[in-house]
Amino acid sequence: MKRILLVILAFALAPLAASAQQTAAPEANPVSSALRAIVARESKEVVAGAEEMPADKYGYHPTPAQMTFGHLVAHMATFNFGMCSTISGVAAPKQDLKETDPKDKLDDALKASFDFCTSSLANLDDSKLGEQLPFFGGRTASRATLMFVLAADFADHYSTEASYLRLNGLLPPSAQARK
């Protein structure tokens, strides 16, 4: 929850910070650039969190109603591929992930999903932020909305991942000493 609030706060304060820098030239694509920076930062934490969890704990879930850690990793990879494809207009590779797949397959898919996001969003600019794109439940939403949803979900997914790690006596990457 704290990461989500920080992401929202960062986006809310960005215009104020930009106006305070009177001498700096305005950035051409601040929203797209911010999303690319978030993808780069969050990919490190999320992938490291998946790598931290031992293979024998991929079936772990705190309560029967909650998803397993393997399901979470498969979900994150599938979500990244889908959202980055929709936002960028670049077709995502086909995925057939199951929560019961081996850790190495799930971890590789998660890494590949962030690589896909990085490459597919590389040429994204702010010129079509208002374009309506398909969204969940048969709805549509602006490209900008989908970009914000993607950024917020990184924080949501990582917080779930970090909780599962802590419940298994492991320290999440963001809580470890920097190397």
pLDDT, one tens digit per residue, over 78-130 is 999 999 999 999 999 998 999 999 999 999 999 999 999 999 999 999 999 99
Residue 34 has pLDDT above 80, yes or no: yes
Beta bridge partners of 133: 141
The pLDDT score that the predictor gives to residue 9 is 43
Is 105 inside any structural domain?
yes
Asked whether residue 91 is assigned to any structural domain, the reply reads yes
3-state secondary structure of 41: helix
Q: Whole-model pTM?
A: 0.84
CATH code (residue 39): 1.20.120.450
CA distance 121 to 6: 22
The answer to whether residue 130 is domain-embedded is yes
The verdict on residue 153 lying in a domain is yes
Residue 162 vs residue 177, higher pLDDT = 162
